[in-house]
Amino acid sequence: MLKGLEIRKNNLEGKLKTVLKDIEEKKDTGINFKEMGVDHLFVDESHKFKNLTFTTRHNRVAGLGNMAGSQKALNMLFAVRTLQERFNSDLCVTFLSGTPISNSLTEMYLLFKYLRPKEMERQHIENFDGWAAVFARKTTDFEFSVTNEIIAKERFRHFIKVPELALFYNEVTDYKTARHINLDKPDLNETLVNIPPTPEQSVFIKNLMQFAKTGNGELIGRGRLTPEEDKGRMLIATNYAKKMAADMRMVDDWKYGDHPDNKINTAARKIAEIYNNTQPHKGTQIVFSDIGTPKPDRFNIYDTLKEKLVRDFHMPATEVTFIHDWTDRKKPELFRKMNRGEIRILLGSTEKAGTGLNVQERVVAMHHLDIPWKPSELEQRNGRGARQGNRIAKEHYGNQVQNYVYAVEQSLDNYKFNLLKNKQTFISQMKNSELNVRTIDEGAVDEKSGMNFSEYIAILSGDTSLLEKSKLEKKVAVMESLKHSHFRELTRNKHQLEKLQNDYTSTEKTLGKLSADAAVYKDRLQMTKEGAKANLIQLDGTAGRDSEAIGKHIIQLYQNWKPQTGQHEEKIGHLYGFQLYIRRQQDTYEENGLFEYRYSNSFYAKRQAEGIKYTYNKGVPNTDNPKLAARHFLNALDRVEHLKERYERNLSDLKTELPMIEKLTTKPFTKESELRELKTELANLERQIAIKIQENQLKQHQPNEPDEKQTPVIKLGEHQTNGHSVKETVVAASVSERPRSRVRL
């Protein structure tokens, strides 16, 4: 660590000297960002600035991206920090992006670095290593070294404390999907088209497996690998597997020929079928492929597919086009022609056709001839057809767009597609705060180093156990989510039950007081000859029953009464066994952004010291009419019967609701046994996979010396896989008879 930090320090010192020299020699004076008076930055398509530099001691760990970063991202960081330091807060910038996390949760650290420096400092997360120590866990995959030995390669593929990470992320995120804002756009009807390998592909798959084991490039028609090339053997193998799955002629167009059931022919038949079925509405289709792009005088997927559509399925050549033939200046014409149905088939790559392609008016189907590396790339592709403004899909095809993903069995297609969908699922859940799992496994394939050897061999050999494992993990995750929701609901019901029980006790107690008050009021109430309620109020300081005089006295008290020191209320009279009070209260008002306090008087009546206080018109008498003011307290006491009836209804409702909620608090999780069975099945499958992988490793690692006696030693260990403890067999190396002091691994 120390050596690495010293090297980095020297490199940074060198860069700093270069920058200072450039500043000194600069002739022109430009605008200084600090002097521009900018208060807030809005950064659209912010994911383009995610290649930010960061420091880590894990410089040998795969999948971390470019630690050096780009100058563009560094400039953005300087601008953001300038504003954050000026206002001394984690504010001043808004990032806007449809794909803020495009591939891995490690990208979240850079978002936090941009947007939450003070909060990260508060949590003592001062660099990537601090963040990774809290939220990520390194795992070890196995690959071959230049000397043909199996070596361990580390990568961050497991993420832990996921709900806390999601909460941290959602503190600064506002995420809206089409579903949230009821955006009128078509649904995707996704179909995974499984294609059996052709005989040539089956042979090549075996050769690929041998190449991955031995590094013999002649097996795949590449020639011997240089030592430098052998370091990236798994990346070469992964790329050849991708080419092989697309079309064998991508590997060697002289050696291999066309096959009626390969991926291009399968896709061409489906495209032609949809073309003919949607002829009345001139439905359009988009075909995506990032490999086999148009190249003159060389075999490529684009020209081959177009030739088949025109020659074999009799489509007009003018109705099939490549995105590569349209410059930015010509693209508006392409948009018009596709939206009018003059061009019916468009072939493009994710980079050129995945964004900024507004041809959605007539799109009825999309076809993916290869699987991209990142979930965000697949999402960008899908967004070309499942887009607001798709008129034909809405009016004639049930507001659905068909989405075909073509995958060759025993290739990496299925695995990559499944991995992408899993990643996309937890990225979406992260955005939506819907994650219930505590750990996530991102898988072991990436763009820069290919795939880990063990899983690569398992998939190419036709062993579908890994895919089954992935499906089981998904089922377990769904079940765990349901269980989590069930117990969350139980907790909520228990809190509700406790609240209702408290409410019942409180309501019963209040009703008892109301009933006693109502009985006293009813017993003492007197009526006048006219049948009205007699106002027998007696106020301190007044004599007689003249309503005018009583009313004026009440109004005068309301307007002028001030309490004695240390008091805030005073008894002023009685009526029908109830004591009458005046009190002073403090109210807060806001005016022009300033708060000020005002005092006002109000009246209430109560029968006992701990009794219920009865008010009318919030305790404020009618100051315009003394006769109405005189009946203020009588009106307050009249409310006792109404309040009693209301509390009786509330108590009746609580009596009905309590048994129902009590029953819900004891409701068991009905799928507990099913979840237990799935976990057991998953643990067994993981154990089988671990044994298979170790058997493959052992075959590669057997000592060859004939004079040594082989004595395998087997030791049982335990490891954690996706949160489940799994017993696995670890096969130790053979031990030589002589010399006894030496053990070869």
Is residue 150 a contact partner of residue 700, using CB atoms and an 8 Å limit?
yes
491 is a domain residue: no
Q: What are phi and psi of 599, to 5 degrees?
A: -110, 145
Q: Which of 611, 628, 609 is nearest to 620 (CA)?
A: 628
pLDDT at 412 (0 to 100): 74
Last residue within a domain, chosen from 387, 409, 431: 409
- 345 in helix, strand or coil? strand
Token look-up 């999907």 returns 177
Whether 81 and 33 share a structural domain: yes
453 is a domain residue: no
Length, in residues, of the chain: 745
Got the DSSP string for 527-567?
B-TTSPBP---EETT--S--HHHHHHHHHHHHHH--PPTT-
645 is a domain residue: no
Whether 12 and 147 share a structural domain: yes
Is residue 305 a contact partner of residue 294, using CB atoms and an 8 Å limit?
no
pLDDT at 56 (0 to 100): 73
489 is a domain residue: no
pLDDT at 42 (0 to 100): 94
Mention every residue, 6+ apart, whose C-beta is less than 8 A from residue 32.
none
83 is a domain residue: yes
Token look-up 């193998």 returns 237
Tell me how far apart the alpha carbons of residues 366 and 368 are, in angstroms, rounded to a whole number: 7
Whether 339 and 230 share a structural domain: no
Q: Which of 387, 29, 441 is nearest to 185 (CA)?
A: 387
Q: Which of 395, 416, 396 is nearest to 405 (CA)?
A: 416
Tell me how far apart the alpha carbons of residues 170 and 160 are, in angstroms, rounded to a whole number: 17
Q: Would residue 182 be called left, alpha or beta, if left means φ above 0 and alpha means ψ between -120 and 50 degrees? A: left
Last residue within a domain, chosen from 386, 409, 432: 409
pLDDT at 66 (0 to 100): 67
Tell me how far apart the alpha carbons of residues 561 and 600 are, in angstroms, rounded to a whole number: 9
Whether 351 and 266 share a structural domain: yes
Q: Which of 373, 431, 351, 369 is nearest to 405 (CA)?
A: 369
Whether 566 and 689 share a structural domain: no
First to last CA, the chain: 28
Is residue 249 a contact partner of residue 287, using CB atoms and an 8 Å limit?
no
594 is a domain residue: yes
- Provide the residue range defining the domain that includes 189: 178-196+261-409
- 500 in helix, strand or coil? helix
Q: What are phi and psi of 309, to 5 degrees?
A: -65, -40
The CATH number of the domain holding residue 401 is: 3.40.50.300
Largest CA distance in the chain: 129
Whether 300 and 159 share a structural domain: no
How much of the chain is in helix, strand and coil states, percent to nearest 5? 50, 15, 35
Whether 588 and 698 share a structural domain: no
Whether 295 and 390 share a structural domain: yes
Whether 210 and 277 share a structural domain: no
Is residue 319 a contact partner of residue 309, using CB atoms and an 8 Å limit?
no
Q: Which of 76, 154, 87 is nearest to 118 (CA)?
A: 87
pLDDT at 455 (0 to 100): 52
In angstroms, what CA-CA distances link 27 with 22, 57, 75, 379?
A: 10, 40, 21, 47
Is residue 212 a contact partner of residue 233, using CB atoms and an 8 Å limit?
yes
pLDDT at 407 (0 to 100): 85
460 is a domain residue: no
Whether 206 and 144 share a structural domain: no
- Taking residue 316's Cβ as centre, other Cβ atoms within 10 Å add up to 11
Element (H, E) at 394: helix 391-396
500 is a domain residue: no
Is residue 474 a contact partner of residue 421, using CB atoms and an 8 Å limit?
no
Residue 275 C-beta-side C-alpha neighbours within 13 Å: 22
Token look-up 């490039």 returns 217
Whether 12 and 26 share a structural domain: yes
- Write out the two tokens for 525: 């109430």
**Amino acid identity for residue 640 in this structure:** V
> Which parts of the chain sit beneath pLDDT 50?
142-151, 442, 444-453, 704-745
- 65 pairs with which residues across the strands? none
Last residue within a domain, chosen from 409, 441, 457: 409
Whether 207 and 347 share a structural domain: no
Residue 619 C-beta-side C-alpha neighbours within 13 Å: 19
Tell me how far apart the alpha carbons of residues 735 and 605 are, in angstroms, rounded to a whole number: 97
pLDDT at 293 (0 to 100): 86
Mention every residue, 6+ apart, whose C-beta is less than 8 A from residue 609.
none
- 697 in helix, strand or coil? helix
- Taking residue 719's Cβ as centre, other Cβ atoms within 10 Å add up to 12
- What is the domain count for the chain? 5
Q: pLDDT tens, 20-72?
A: 887 777 766 677 788 888 999 999 888 888 888 777 776 666 556 667 778 88
pLDDT at 277 (0 to 100): 94
pLDDT at 306 (0 to 100): 94
Tell me how far apart the alpha carbons of residues 740 and 348 are, in angstroms, rounded to a whole number: 64
Helix axis angle, 465-524 to 453-460, nearest 10°: 100
Mention every residue, 6+ apart, whose C-beta is less than 8 A from residue 206.
none
